[in-house]
Amino acid sequence: MKAKLRGHHLICLNFFRGEGYSEEFIRNIYSVIGKESIEIVTGPDDVCATCPFLKDDWCNNPDYSDDMIQFQDREALRLLGFKPGMRVDWKMIADKLPGIIEVWKAQFCGGCGYRKVCFG
């Protein structure tokens, strides 16, 4: 089975520690990260499917604008060297993280509410 994931989730899910918006959301993430194959998509993905802030394929999270989320997606794909439509696996992503994570953290993690969960 494959997961469909947007750009920033390819990076952020590597740091998932069992926290999220609701129990349903957390269960869904465990299901997603348990899949071996990943198809890269643009816009809402399998993680977004149970997000309480997704309305009409638009992120309505008061902390992150939809434009910012889309920018993160594009930057994640650029840093990872991936494109929408590609199929990857978790190992391919994990192998690229050491070379990009400091750039990612500097650009996006400072204002993220999950920063402490990911990096202590």
What total of structural domains would you count in the chain? Answer: 1
Distance, CA of 107 to CA of 76 (rounded, Å) = 11
Range of the domain at 95: 2-119
Distance, CA of 61 to CA of 66 (rounded, Å) = 8
Distance, CA of 68 to CA of 87 (rounded, Å) = 24
Q: What is the DSSP string of 6-24?
A: -HHHHHHGGG--S--SSHH
User: What is the model's pTM?
Assistant: 0.93
Instruction: State yes or no: pLDDT of 119 exceeds 90.
Output: no
Q: What pLDDT score does 64 carry?
A: 83
pLDDT in tens, 48-76: 999 998 999 999 888 888 999 999 999 99
Residue 21 pLDDT class (50, 70, 90 cuts): confident
Instruction: State yes or no: pLDDT of 120 exceeds 80.
Output: no
Q: What pLDDT score does 1 carry?
A: 83
Residue 40, token pair as written in the block? 């890269």
